Amino acid sequence: MHMRKRQNSRTWRIWGKIGCLIVLCGLLAFPVWAAEETEGEVEIIEVVEVTYTTKQFIKAARSGNLSYIQEGIEAGLNIDKRQKGVRALTEASKYGQFEVVQLLLENGADVDAANKKGSTPLMLASERGRVDVVRLLLQYDADIFVENEKGNTALIQAEKNGHTEIIEILQEAGAE
């Protein structure tokens, strides 16, 4: 639970979970309340609900909003859920959001979970030239031999886009 006191005020913001979480159609919500301290007693003065959706989670992964990703994970959001064909890890990998990729992987994201076209995070990072992300995904044993619906592997994606450093990294990892 996190508490923050407003300047020049006896009002405290208290952020936390009450009771059980509500999970419905990819929507995760929990109450957050504000309380006011008066003469040693705390009175709840406001209750609002913070909501996490898969769509917002994926958007946060794409943009590198690490705090939103962390909050969603702590709230129990399914980090591998697909929305409109994409997943948080595929989007973070594609857009080079290294810290988000790392956080998702540390929290059990499927390193080889593909988007609707069959492209894995490794393929998308290789296609876009995201060297650090490629190295990280390989540390988590990303499959270098997976093919997307067009028959392309991560190595082919890197070759098509002229990413020589990634080509070398993938070849060192055993890609042909």
pTM metric for this prediction: 0.72
pLDDT of residue 29: 46
Query: Are the C-beta atoms of residues 122 and 131 closer than 8 Å to each other?
Result: no
Q: How does pLDDT run across 125-169, given as a tens digit for each residue? A: 999 999 999 999 999 999 999 999 999 999 999 999 999 999 999
Q: Which residue has the tokens 């990892």?
A: 173
> In the numeric block, which tokens belong to residue 86?
């994409």
Residue closest to 100 by CA, chosen among 123, 129, 130: 130
Average pLDDT, the chain: 80
Residue 8 has pLDDT above 60, yes or no: no
Residue range(s) defining the domain that contains residue 90: 2-172
* Number of domains within the chain: 1
Q: How does pLDDT run across 10-47, given as a tens digit for each residue? A: 333 333 333 333 333 334 444 444 445 555 555 554 55
Cα 135 to Cα 149: distance, rounded to the nearest angstrom: 24
Indicate which CATH number applies to the domain containing 37: 1.25.40.20
